[in-house]
Amino acid sequence: MEANEILILAMFGSFILLLFIGIPVAWVLGGVGVAFAIIGYYSDLYFDTWTGLDFTTLGLVVNRLFKIMDNWILVALPMFIFMGNMLDRSGVADRLMQAMQALFGRVRGGLAISVMAIGIILAASTGIIGASVVLLATMSLPAMIKQGYSLPLALGTVASAGTLGILLPPSIMLVIMADQLGLSVGDLFMGAMFPGLMLGAIYIVYLLLIGVLKPQSAPLPENAKRADWEVIKDVAKAIVPTFALIIAVLGSIFAGIATPTEASGVGAFGAILLAMYYKRFSLAVLKDVLLDSYKTTAYIFAIFIGATCFALVLRELGGDEFIEQVFEALPFGPYGIVAFILLVIFLLGFFLDWIEITLIVLPLLAPVVMGLDLDIGTYPGLDNAELVWFVMLVAMALQTSFLTPPVGFALFYLKGVCPPEVKLMDIYKGVVPFIILQLIALVVLVMWPNLILWLPSIAYG
């Protein structure tokens, strides 16, 4: 084994080890990158190897950072984060919960279905996982427990509904993926619409089946009433303002009227107008939302900086070629390699956050997929159809990372707002069926690429 290959494996090993020790990921990425640039330099100097690393490599990081901060696409990140935080404060979810509960009052499992429907709406308008999980848990979990719902079912419903925002546009994960691979954000947003809605629909069908097959797990509320026109009008009043914002943001992107960055500004302004409409806006609220948005944005960009250093050193060592050779040597066909990659990403999701996987792993694996002879059909006018399809498969696989122990973020957000008697093991049991449903959805997307590629392809028709 050559010196470069040893250093590549040692880089990944050090990265994983330091993460388990508990060092913040941004420091781990940047520190490991700097450390191995120095190790490579001195191994060339004293051990007569040739790693190709010197201190010029670290100097290149500065140029990469300037490109990150000058990136027009990434301006959308803080704006979408602000939009989600402001909508969280606007009271939209409270009104939706009250209206949806009345609408599904006579449906067995109706409260869980209401939570899932609100999760879909919040996903398409906020995309902030922590806020959605905490909000849904605070509003619905006490009512579900009081109504007699099975505790694992209630917990799994809240956790899975809250994580839909990472897949449905305007997802900040899709913005970062597009930036890393040079894809159109609009293509990924359009490609994510059907998969995201399909996953939400699969969840709802599952909850309906639970209501039929295990009625004791999802009982009807006492004195439940059938929905009438007044209830339907209340639902419309709760949904229409939020839908108007969603259409303003996503519709302007899909119609080609605005770029995703411009649409993010429209969304941020629209969220302020909604907060004013619901009489929840004040200077104190604006200050809190700005501070929360600053913190989230700073966290993401700190990882960007660390990942830039890590990825640059890894590429200088020939890490991308090494990874490509490893996957090409696998005794599988093209789809077998894709399945193996998705399995690796699924397993990494047990231990790593989606940001690290997106910034480090995805750029290394995308060239492998582009070199495969995949037969996913013809989509005239859509550039890099195979890559768009693969990215959406990765996005669906990463959806599971929020629910898989031990480091699924949705699990810890949920545990933080649960009553003390709710154990972490109850949450683990609750999310298992929904993880299985996510994997089923992933298989469907592998078998039918049209679900991803049809909408972005007709935009060019």
Yes or no: say if 132 and 122 are a contact pair by the CB < 8 Å rule: yes
Q: Can you read off the two tokens belonging to residue 409?
A: 């973020």
Q: Is the pLDDT of residue 228 over 70?
A: no
pLDDT over 60 (residue 90): yes
Peptide bond into 170 cis (omega under 30): yes
Rounded-to-integer distance, Cα 59 and Cα 63, Å: 7
Predicted confidence at residue 297, as pLDDT, reads 84
Tokens 């899709």 — which residue? Answer: 174
pLDDT at residue 367, as a whole number: 82
Q: Determine the pLDDT at residue 206.
A: 92
46 in helix, strand or coil?
helix
Residue 366's pLDDT is 83
pLDDT at 105 over 70: no
- Residue 218 CB contacts under 8 Å (≥ 6 apart), including other chains: 108, 109, 111, 112, 149, 150, 153, 207, 210, 211
pTM of the model: 0.81
Between helix 385-399 and helix 334-348 the angle, nearest 10°, is 30
Of the two residues 140 and 213, the one the predictor is more confident about is 213
Integer distance in angstroms from the first to the last C-alpha of the chain?
Answer: 50
The pLDDT of residue 52 is 62
**pLDDT digit string, tens, across residues 313-360:** 887 777 777 777 777 777 777 888 888 888 888 888 877 777 778 888
Of residues 226 and 5, more confidence is placed in: 5
